[in-house]
Amino acid sequence: MTQAIEVAKEVAALVSAVCDDFSVMAFDTATFEISAAGTARSDWEKAFAMVRADGGTSIGAPLAKLARERRYVEQLVIVTDAGDNTAPLFQNAYAEYARAIGVTPAVVVIGVGGVSHSIIAQWRQAGIPLELWEFKGDHYSLPNILHLLSAPSRAELVDQVMAVALPSR
């Protein structure tokens, strides 16, 4: 997970440069929000200074926190090896979030360090709408994820389709 933390710093810097309406949550078995003083990589380096990889991983913990706080999100970006080994597990927290808030956010998983494809398959089988982007160690490729993050949501696609005028006779 040390590699995931390094990648998360870079992803946070990239996203903060183009989007001001996002939150960063670090987690192991607990969740805490991280904010940076600016958008530079060095700002995010300072913000992540206390984050360490120390064992247990609950990928569902941030989503459970969002559900408790009744915070609406349209998209989740998870930088992980998908080693979800501590409750709340992500697929359970996702189902609870969807039930509590009434929305099923899109999920982009940035897989690092030999991502667990069996857990990704479980998430897909549970009906979680997700895209997996595997990080292979090339930090120069990270800006490519911005295209995944800026894709229209399902609601926006429906709005676009509904905006097309029907032909008249």
Does residue 46 sit within a domain?
yes
% the chain with pLDDT above 90 = 40
- Residue 83's pLDDT band (boundaries 50, 70, 90)? confident
Does residue 92 sit within a domain?
yes
102 pLDDT above the threshold of 90: yes
pLDDT the model gives residue 136: 86
pLDDT the model gives residue 90: 94
61 pLDDT above the threshold of 90: yes
The mean pLDDT value for 8-30 works out to 88
Q: Using H for helix, E for strand and C for coil, what is the string for the chain? A: CHHHHHHHHHHHHHHHHHCCCCCEEEECCCEEEECCCCCCHHHHHHHCCCCCCCCCCCCCHHHHHHHHCCCCCCEEEEEECCCCCCCCCHHHHHHHHHHHHCCCCEEEEEECCCCCHHHHHHHHHCCCCEEEEECCCCHHHHHHHHHHHHCCCHHHHHHHHHCCCCCCC
Each residue of 13-23: pLDDT tens digit? Answer: 999 888 878 89
Domain count, the chain: 1
The mean pLDDT value for 41-65 works out to 88
pLDDT the model gives residue 84: 82
pLDDT the model gives residue 148: 75
Residue with the bigger pLDDT between 114 and 134: it is 134
- Residue 116's pLDDT band (boundaries 50, 70, 90)? confident
Task: Please state, in angstroms and rounded to a whole number, the distance separating the CA atoms of residues 93 and 6.
Answer: 25
pLDDT the model gives residue 25: 93
Does residue 168 sit within a domain?
no
In a 13 Å sphere around the CA of 88, the CA atoms on its Cβ side amount to 18
Does residue 169 sit within a domain?
no
pLDDT the model gives residue 89: 92
Task: Please state, in angstroms and rounded to a whole number, the distance separating the CA atoms of residues 16 and 44.
Answer: 10
pLDDT the model gives residue 138: 84
pTM, to two decimals: 0.83
Residue 77, domain extent: 2-162
Does residue 167 sit within a domain?
no
Q: What is the mean pLDDT of the chain?
A: 88
Q: What is the CATH number of the domain that holds 145?
A: 3.40.50.410
pLDDT the model gives residue 68: 95
The mean pLDDT value for 90-108 works out to 94
